[in-house]
């Protein structure tokens, strides 16, 4: 198992050998990452906080899970549309 860290403020506090040992940029087979993706997910769920504030722990977790599942489904559908569009454009250009 290999442990690595994306570029985070943790690296500002560590020595160069630690940065080198755990850097994504120097790990074989690892591509670039979008470290802001989790932040975008939480920013989309922020309006839900007022509704879940009055819920119990289980119903709050279920509601948050449902909203994240819906958000992930919309992302997947969007990727399919983009992929289809890119293939269509590619075939038209050939």
Q: What is the pLDDT of residues 25-57, one digit of tens each?
A: 777 777 666 667 767 777 778 888 888 989 999
Q: What is the pLDDT of residues 7-24, one digit of tens each?
A: 655 555 566 677 677 677
Whether the Cβ atoms of residue 35 and residue 8 lie closer than 8 Å to each other: yes
For residue 33, give every residue at least 6 positions away whose Cβ sits within 8 Å of its Cβ, in sequence order, or none. 6, 24
pLDDT at residue 54, as a whole number: 92
**Cα dihedral across residues 75, 78, 80, 82: positive or negative:** negative
Structure pTM?
Answer: 0.53
């Amino acid at each position: 198992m290999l442990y690595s860290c994306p570029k985070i403020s943790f690296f500002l506090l560590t020595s160069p050998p630690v940065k080198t040992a755990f850097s994504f940029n120097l790990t074989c087979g690892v591509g670039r990452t979008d470290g802001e993706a989790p932040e975008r997910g939480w920013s989309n769920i922020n309006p839900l906080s007022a509704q879940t504030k009055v819920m119990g722990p289980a119903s709050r977790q279920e509601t948050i899970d449902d909203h994240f599942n819906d958000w992930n489904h919309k992302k997947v559908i969007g990727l399919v549309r983009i992929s289809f569009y890119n293939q269509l454009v590619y075939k038209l250009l050939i």
